[in-house]
Structure 1
Amino acid sequence: MTWNRIVFSLVLAAGLLLAPCRPAQLAAKETCLSQGWPQDKSDLKPDPALTFGTLENGLRYVIMPNHEPKGRVSLQLNIQSGSVQERDEQRGVAHYLEHMMFNGTTHYQPGAMVEYFQSIGMAFGPDSNAHTSYDETVYQLMLPNSEEQTVSKGLQLLVDYAGGALLLPKEVDKERGVILAEKRERDSASRRVYKKGIEQAFAGTLLAQRDVIGTEEVLKKADAALLRQYYERWYRPDNMILVAVGDAEPAALQKLISQQFSQLKAKTASPACIELGKVAEQGLEAFYQHEPDLGHTAVSIASVWNAEPEMFTQAAALRRLKEYAATMLLDNRLQRIVNSKDSPLTSASFSSYKMLPQFGITSLRVQTDAGKWKTSLELLNSTLRQALTAGFPEEEMKRVRSKLLSMLKEQVQAAASRKSDDIAAVLISDLNSQEVVLSPAQELELYGPMVEKLTAAELSEVFRSLWHERRLVKVSGTAELLSDKNGTPEAQILAAWQAAEAAELKPWEQEQAVDFPYLPPPAPEAKVAQHTAYEKIGAERYVFSNGLILNLKKTDFEPNEVQAVVVFGKGSLVQPKPGLNVLAQFFIPESGVGKLDQEQLNTALAPYSSKVNFSIDENSFQFRGKGLSSETELLFQLLHTRLHDPAFRADAFERVRRQAEQFYAQAQSSVEGAMEFKGESFLAGGNLRYGLAPWDMVKTLTLADLEGWLRPAFKDEPLEISVVGDFDKEQVLRLVSKYFGEERKGGQQGADEKIIFPSGKKLAEKVVTATNKALVAVAWPTDDFWNITRTRRLNVLAAVLNDRLRKQIREELGAAYSPYVYNQSSEVDPGYGVLRSVVMAEPGQADRLAAKLKQAGADLAAGKVTDEELKRALEPSLTSIRDRIRTNDYWLDNVLIGSLQHPERLEWPLTIQSDFAAVKAEELSALAAKYLQPDKAAEVLFLPEKK
């Protein structure tokens, strides 16, 4: 939970970064490569569960035992270099090189690596992946078991990455198309705004010039020699950290690491320091970027500065804590403004963080409509000035203090359920940031007393220190500013900012504290009328006197945590007007509850971990809650209040409608969005329950429509409650009886609809967009969900076709970055299911690729699935299943929810592993012959058209 890591998560959520960068690194005098460990220069001690080591060749490693997922080990190799280490003629090479590791190494000829790891139970992508950012390249393996041979093979592959890449010229040329396809696939309005923002804010530095994906000029002519130059310069043992986390003995891992990695040697002299340049630190600058595909207008004010590396000591930890707390203070204000009546804003965020060791940026960003950019800029200005001049009162500090303490305590309670790959990623992030890695208990011990002592006055001063002399004011997106008598767009922005600066500043109005819960429990309490134990799966069902159903499954997968889901009604199946389900899922959380709006509720719940979300399934409404076991009653109070005292606030509806309009505007300017708006309903014979309803329909919906649909369901529909996790059964029985004892007489019935798949038909349409890529999909009708043996095999068949397309489309043709295939069988519509294959393509290749997808299905239907193909598809599925059945989500979503109407769900856990393991190649061949015939296929093509 280090504060730097949390800030980065907020920045990512705001869409400002592609990947976290190294905020601070102390370079040794004789080299620019980091050496040693952060704790070597700190008064803080690292997590005692960690084993640190350094080999003679300089490679560092960290080992940590962890037992989730059970029996698996995460190995991650961190190369401490990325795109900023590239020379001008190498722009894009770091990322290109990452791709080439999968195309041939010392122990794996081209094409062999992925297939080997699939055969032992690892999926390409989820279990074997990599990423490149500005200053790091990380290779990730999630091994299917912790056996010595498996771990040794995994380490051998990482050694190959570290020094055994073949970089065959033929393979470099083949991968070029994949790289260019990825560049094309990742292009979007938000990506262009981000890239331009980096170029503007960090002008004059390498950061502004080193986009990770690289330049098309370099990518089109990069050869094996160019890649090898970078490889031998930066892939060296003294520039690497190996992280191993999992269900294995540290001593055994340490021995294997030494055996495998000691052979590595640096192939070149230590590289010279990279001069990144300096950002300007003074002045007021305006930037404008017209990007109508963004769907909204973004307005921001930022401060950029040159930073100095620092050691992570207690003093530094306290300072970062204060900075993060100050960030929370302003962010709370922003959310209150967004949620206020008649606010011009639809979202807002505040962040302050380091980009590489040398640069810092503080940014206040809001989202609005095109015609409200000036009003939003004025509001942004006044909010910032209020905080800078008057600071924050102690009343606002109480919420931040309680939330920070809650987060720290929740981390400790949930420590045993952390996943090994997540821990490994955090370790790399902390070490690259030169932060001492602390356990959740250490963080509570360190930060807890600090949080208790924080004052509003010192946080106000820290907040001021985050704003440096250089100010950048930016307007981007849908607002179209033209040069006129008022000057250029930039001049207009500066004039609006200066006018806002000169305006009279009103004081911030403090909101009154609120309490929760406020509803009395209903009377009378319900009594248990019937109890059934399902001993084979360790679950129970209670039927109460009022008809309520309670399903229980006690687990130890996530110690000290509990999940509860209240299911009722028929969901999307009975929506009276298309699009209501879209608005409702955003509206209910935004509107708060009867006596508290959403911000008041957030304030009241700040000291707690419990949270409740609302969702609409294809055949039900759901309130899903999660929290610490110690908060079980609070969790049920939240569920009770959400259900019994829903709010239908007009201002919240207007805000959600504007958010939806902006979302639709952005989505309608992309081929991916077109698939949601038109492609999904096309594959469902025009039924608008599939995909997203058109905006022309959604914009006509009213608050009365929404309330008329939801309120009766909330009030009258019978309830099924499922609880899974580390709970006290008697307490749960008492709480369900206490809070859900009312009689309910509802009984929504969905209309029977026959879905007609468009076999043999084609949907081809143009999408007006500035993004030059096409979406190509070929789909076949399968069947509904309820023959579980068939559904399981259809999923494996999809995996087989997915693997064929990976080889044919990506590896052989280099025509797409990530073709994918999946089967989706309906739980509502009898006989309806779709198996689809999808690729993002260069527009001129769309028809050709559609033919390839269709032919791949035809070949599978006419031929046979080989035993080798089955193994490569099935083994990763079996690994995933072993992990999945040890999660609370599996028992809720796949077993308990809906088990009254479909009691067969309670049998599925008994057969899932054995049934999948029993899949035969001939069964898949028979399914392919039945479902993947060419005359049954439907095609969907969305092509870009310039504005």
Structure 2
Amino acid sequence: MMLLRKNALIMIAILMVSWALWGQADIMQQPLPTDPSLVTGQFANGLKYIIKVNNKPEKRVAFRLMVDAGSVLEDDDQQGLAHFTEHMAFNGTQNMSREELIKYLNSIGMGFAGGLNAFTSFDQTVYNLSAPTDNQESLRKAFTILSDWAYQVSLRDKELESERGIIIEEWRRGQGAEERIRDKTNKVIFAGSRYADRNPIGKYDVLSTFTPDKIKRFYTDWYRPDLQTVLIVGDVDPSQMIAMLKEFFEPIPKRDNPRERVIYPVPSHVEPRTVIATDKEASNTSIQISWKHDPTPQKNLIGYRNSLCTDLFQDMLGNRLEELSKQSDPPFSYAYNYSYPMTKSKELYLMAAYMPEAKIKVALTALVTEAERAKLHGFTAGELARSKQNILRRAETAMTEKDNQLSESLIWRYVSQIMNDGAMMSPEQNYQIMGALFDTISLDDVNAVTQQLVTDQNMVLSVSGPEKEGFVYPTESELLAVVKSIDSSNITPYDDKIVSEPFLSAIPKPGKIKKTKVYKASGIKSWKLSNGITVYLKNTDFKKDEVYFSASSSGGFSLYPPTDVLAAKEAGSIIADAGFGDFDNTTIEKMLAGQVVRVNPNIGVYSEDLQGMFSPKNMETAFQMIYQYAKAPRFSKDSFDSYVTRQKAFLENKQNSPDQVFIDSLVVFIYDNNPYFAPETTKTWDQVSLDRVMEIYQERYSNFGDFNFFFVGNFDEQELKKMCLTYLANLPAKKSKESAQDIGFETIKGKHERTFNLGKDPKSMVYFVIGGDMKYSNREVEDLDAFCMLLNERLREKIREEMSGVYNIYASPNTANFPREEYAIMIMMECSPERSAELTAAVVAILDSTKTGTVSEEEASFVRTTMLKNLDQSIITNRFWLNNISQNVAKELPIDDFLNYQSWYQNISTESLAKTAAKYLNHNTNLIQVTKLPIPSQ
């Protein structure tokens, strides 16, 4: 690592010396290097391509077609048609009809269930596709689809009319308080710009009435090779990819007299702008202070250095805001700051906070004061050092894991870099240059960022929240008066309290391993420690710098009466927020600078747990934190008061949201008003005391004798053993064991219907729950998952595609083996209130036909192939192994049963799917149907 840093320092030193000597030559404007492993090119028609070889997973390739066109380019009579065009790409092309396209992609496991998708923003449209690479026909089909999307989408009248209903349902789905507030706020932020009237979802009047020529005009104008980039990342031969790109994309004709791709400006303004956006259905109150700036170039050395200064500034200010939120009476519940490219022509830096509406002025004062504190006094050397450590550590991890990134993750990184006009550096190049530049960045450099970002010009102050009887929001002039009234003379420098003590003053003497067991098929091992703890470990090479862990013991809040549920289930979060030993949470975060460690206690329904991850380099820190959370949890009255205040603030207006009220009502109804799952309110928090939280936490974490610990990742086994013996074997333990209790956590049986009238927007939500008993096993769970994939596809084809009734409909299975072996299939859809009864009947009809009907080989192949493809990607992750090992141990099932998944999936057949449907679709006797409709007009 030091050699890499030294080389980069030499390179930058030469540049800087040259700059000083040459003056006007401005060497710092030279471009940043490009990842040498990328294969890039551009055809004469203007189309660009980028190829990256990546073998995770093997025999797979990810594609992206990027179109440098979004909603901002729409004409007035096309608003919403950029997004509509994106949808139409999946409805047929010159070479493939919609049915052929979906049928083919499903056959290779790459359909909608396998990640097929796209998105449209103000300035971009991006299509994602993946394909197997061990089949030449599949590769050629993928290139056919991509090139057809690029210039041969059919846009047939019949498909346009069918998709119109789906698009309108997507528009309907977004309607609500959040959309109304965002729309009002954006019109002020983007005032005077085309962006103010180009929401990507579009306008209902246009979507419902446009004629085919409008969308065809958009496609003709903007889907052209000079505005397109093809990304290819996967297990491929670059020379073969170039040959196929030449075959499929180079012949696309260059457009004669193309329409200019305008970069639309967002006008500057001298005076601050304000907007107060309220809504009766808003459930949160927030403040946002935004400053618009010209974008910082990201492709040369000086631009990257400036962006790093901004990153450091935002990281340090964010830490200060978080520290304020931890006060016993915080000015806000949560606050943050960040910059992002809001458009191609403008970046936005913002500070934002959530708070009770009564604290709007208090929160605004706190935000402005922190910005002023940074401007007046800057940051401290300690803050800067920690921030550099944290940011550089993330870059180091990216470099360490450069060969272990999934192709899907990697390709999205390239998409982001292209959209933001960033440099395509390799992880090594990024780490080298970042480290060298950090050595040149001083406090003065970072402090200067505040003067650049927080200015009197181009500022927009927005407040949003619920309309409440008896509450009057501050006026726009009053809000600006608060900003101007901050007395700089009373703002003192930040006090950076630093603790140099270790987490533990004395290291305990190691315990012993009483028994070792090896599971040969999977390579999993277990150690029985001298205090009763069982440790399960699996060494992997999926990631070099990653170890995931969890720990669990039977019990949870099932051991307490309903009146203690909130105290019990929040106890872990309350302690994590407070810290351990003599260290509060803020101090712990400072002490962890430059380390990759996360440890969180949590009390669930049937177990108390510890969860987290760490870098192998920081293993001992993680174990010391586990030890401290068990033996020395910090019970702080100030921290507890702060936590409760913040929770109450988020709950204060929850009842304003029709969707949230519906979900709460749904839970109460389907679980038969079980007091253990009653909705949280501010009143329930009034009943929670710190004393009771302390008692419950200590009870749950006072006996580790029946705990199981699980570690999966790239660890040194001898070092892990040393840590387990030193720290885990010294956790408190008793011979007694506890068992979770049955608290009646089951859905009501029989057939039930319920309707709730909530909200004013013209949209409906319908939930179906089918449930009953099952003979629990991993094989049965996987069979049910496979069946639900089939059911999802049938629901999508009928309810969305054929009936144009919804934007999305999905079925998800839930299973349990304690306290009883049971299952539930939940189906959810959002739709027009006028069609809810019709679509509900259609869903039930699909359930009827699926229960008694047959399954085609085409459907079975789709499910089989998709599940195998998804397994290929998940089985090479540490989380997959950790979750499966820990769940099997908890459920007393074979520990490595998941090694059978592949053979189970390979045996998915028409008969197995039909059998599962007949077994679990008992909706004729057990069906809960809950519907949300708007409040009828008076």
- The answer, yes or no, to whether TM exceeds 0.5 is yes
* Structure 2 counterparts to residues 16-95 of structure 1, below 5 A: 42-95=30-83
Alignment-derived partner of residue 933 in structure 2 = 943
Q: Which amino acid is the alignment partner of residue 864 of structure 1?
A: T
Alignment-derived partner of residue 728 in structure 1 = 716
1:766 aligns with 2:752: no
Alignment-derived partner of residue 338 in structure 1 = 325
Alignment-derived partner of residue 888 in structure 1 = 878
Contact map agreement 2:28 2:300 (CA 8 A) in 1: no
- Structure 2 CA distance for aligned equivalents of residues 636 and 331 of structure 1: 28
The alpha-carbon deviation at position 467 of structure 1 amounts to 2.5
- Structure 2 CA distance for aligned equivalents of residues 421 and 575 of structure 1: 44
Q: Which runs of 5+ in 1 are unaligned?
A: 1-38
Say which of 378, 381, 395 aligns to 1:394.
Answer: 381
Relative to structure 2, which stretch is displaced further, 529-538 or 336-345?
336-345
CA distances 1:208-231 after superposition (whole Å, capped 9, x unpaired): 111111111111112321111111
Aligned-partner SS, 1:590: helix
Alignment-derived partner of residue 565 in structure 1 = 550
The alpha-carbon deviation at position 106 of structure 1 amounts to 1.8
Relative to structure 2, which stretch is displaced further, 152-161 or 109-118?
109-118
* Structure 2 counterparts to residues 342-357 of structure 1, below 5 A: 342-357=329-344
Say which of 763, 774, 793 aligns to 1:803.
Answer: 793
Relative to structure 2, which stretch is displaced further, 529-538 or 678-687?
678-687
1:816 aligns with 2:806: yes
1:636 aligns with 2:587: no
- Structure 2 CA distance for aligned equivalents of residues 741 and 521 of structure 1: 15
Contact map agreement 1:475 1:493 (CA 8 A) in 2: no
* Structure 2 counterparts to residues 839-878 of structure 1, below 5 A: 839-878=829-868
1:326 aligns with 2:313: yes
The alpha-carbon deviation at position 323 of structure 1 amounts to 1.2
Contact map agreement 2:555 2:739 (CA 8 A) in 1: yes
Alignment-derived partner of residue 6 in structure 2 = none
Q: TM-score, normalised by structure 1?
A: 0.91
CA distances 1:458-498 after superposition (whole Å, capped 9, x unpaired): 211122111242322222113759999xx982233233333
Relative to structure 2, which stretch is displaced further, 802-811 or 194-203?
194-203
CA distances 1:289-312 after superposition (whole Å, capped 9, x unpaired): 11343322212222224x267461
The alpha-carbon deviation at position 665 of structure 1 amounts to 4.9
Q: 1:770 to 1:588 in 2, by over 3 A?
A: farther
Q: 1:275 to 1:483 in 2, by over 3 A?
A: farther
Contact map agreement 2:82 2:120 (CA 8 A) in 1: yes
Alignment-derived partner of residue 645 in structure 2 = 658
- Structure 1 CA distance for aligned equivalents of residues 834 and 573 of structure 2: 38
The alpha-carbon deviation at position 761 of structure 1 amounts to 0.7
- Structure 1 CA distance for aligned equivalents of residues 224 and 829 of structure 2: 36
Q: 1:903 to 1:249 in 2, by over 3 A?
A: farther
Aligned-partner SS, 1:208: helix
Alignment-derived partner of residue 154 in structure 2 = 166
- Structure 2 CA distance for aligned equivalents of residues 40 and 157 of structure 1: 43
CA distances 1:579-603 after superposition (whole Å, capped 9, x unpaired): 3465345423322223222111111
Aligned-partner SS, 2:698: helix
Aligned-partner SS, 2:50: strand
Q: 1:393 to 1:560 in 2, by over 3 A?
A: closer
The alpha-carbon deviation at position 109 of structure 1 amounts to 0.9
Q: 1:676 to 1:147 in 2, by over 3 A?
A: same
Contact map agreement 2:80 2:203 (CA 8 A) in 1: yes
Contact map agreement 1:189 1:294 (CA 8 A) in 2: yes
- Structure 2 CA distance for aligned equivalents of residues 688 and 916 of structure 1: 40
Contact map agreement 1:290 1:480 (CA 8 A) in 2: no
- Structure 1 CA distance for aligned equivalents of residues 852 and 654 of structure 2: 38
The alpha-carbon deviation at position 704 of structure 1 amounts to 2.8
Q: 1:592 to 1:844 in 2, by over 3 A?
A: farther
Alignment-derived partner of residue 787 in structure 1 = 777
Q: 1:905 to 1:936 in 2, by over 3 A?
A: same
Alignment-derived partner of residue 538 in structure 1 = 523
Q: 1:493 to 1:464 in 2, by over 3 A?
A: same
Aligned-partner SS, 1:776: strand
- Structure 1 CA distance for aligned equivalents of residues 501 and 430 of structure 2: 29
- Structure 1 CA distance for aligned equivalents of residues 29 and 100 of structure 2: 44
Say which of 230, 234, 238 aligns to 1:242.
Answer: 230
Say which of 567, 584, 595 aligns to 1:597.
Answer: 584
Say which of 691, 694, 703 aligns to 1:707.
Answer: 694
Alignment-derived partner of residue 405 in structure 2 = 418
Contact map agreement 1:352 1:466 (CA 8 A) in 2: no
Q: TM-score, normalised by structure 2?
A: 0.91
Q: Which amino acid is the alignment partner of residue 926 of structure 1?
A: K
Aligned-partner SS, 2:819: coil
CA distances 1:233-267 after superposition (whole Å, capped 9, x unpaired): 11111111100001122222222222221221245
1:112 aligns with 2:100: yes
Contact map agreement 1:529 1:544 (CA 8 A) in 2: yes
Q: Which amino acid is the alignment partner of residue 741 of structure 2?
A: A
Contact map agreement 2:191 2:267 (CA 8 A) in 1: yes
CA distances 1:795-814 after superposition (whole Å, capped 9, x unpaired): 11111111111011111111
Q: 1:578 to 1:843 in 2, by over 3 A?
A: farther
- Structure 1 CA distance for aligned equivalents of residues 896 and 846 of structure 2: 35
Q: Which amino acid is the alignment partner of residue 808 of structure 2?
A: S
Instruction: Name the % identity.
Output: 23
* Structure 2 counterparts to residues 59-458 of structure 1, below 5 A: 59-124=47-112, 126-267=114-255, 269-274=257-262, 276-305=264-293, 307=294, 310=297, 312-458=299-445
Alignment-derived partner of residue 555 in structure 1 = 540
Contact map agreement 1:777 1:850 (CA 8 A) in 2: no
Contact map agreement 1:803 1:873 (CA 8 A) in 2: no
CA distances 1:682-721 after superposition (whole Å, capped 9, x unpaired): 3334435568556654553333332222221112243211
Q: 1:920 to 1:666 in 2, by over 3 A?
A: farther
1:493 aligns with 2:512: no
- Structure 1 CA distance for aligned equivalents of residues 666 and 640 of structure 2: 28
Q: 1:111 to 1:435 in 2, by over 3 A?
A: same
Aligned-partner SS, 1:101: helix
Contact map agreement 1:100 1:167 (CA 8 A) in 2: yes
Alignment-derived partner of residue 911 in structure 1 = 900
Alignment-derived partner of residue 33 in structure 1 = none
Q: 1:415 to 1:275 in 2, by over 3 A?
A: closer
- Structure 2 CA distance for aligned equivalents of residues 858 and 669 of structure 1: 37
Aligned-partner SS, 1:345: coil
The alpha-carbon deviation at position 44 of structure 1 amounts to 1.9
The alpha-carbon deviation at position 608 of structure 1 amounts to 0.8
Contact map agreement 1:169 1:224 (CA 8 A) in 2: yes
Q: Which amino acid is the alignment partner of residue 895 of structure 2?
A: L
Q: Which amino acid is the alignment partner of residue 323 of structure 1?
A: T
The alpha-carbon deviation at position 79 of structure 1 amounts to 0.4
Aligned-partner SS, 1:526: coil
The alpha-carbon deviation at position 884 of structure 1 amounts to 1.7
- Structure 2 CA distance for aligned equivalents of residues 827 and 735 of structure 1: 33
- Structure 2 CA distance for aligned equivalents of residues 751 and 85 of structure 1: 60
CA distances 1:881-911 after superposition (whole Å, capped 9, x unpaired): 222222111111112x154454433241231
Q: Which amino acid is the alignment partner of residue 801 of structure 1?
A: L
Alignment-derived partner of residue 757 in structure 1 = 748
- Structure 1 CA distance for aligned equivalents of residues 755 and 47 of structure 2: 54
Alignment-derived partner of residue 14 in structure 1 = none
The alpha-carbon deviation at position 860 of structure 1 amounts to 1.1
Alignment-derived partner of residue 12 in structure 2 = none
The alpha-carbon deviation at position 857 of structure 1 amounts to 1.1
Contact map agreement 2:188 2:273 (CA 8 A) in 1: no
Aligned residues: 903
Aligned-partner SS, 1:158: helix
CA distances 1:402-459 after superposition (whole Å, capped 9, x unpaired): 2122222222222222121121111122123222211111111101021133221221
- Structure 2 CA distance for aligned equivalents of residues 568 and 349 of structure 1: 36
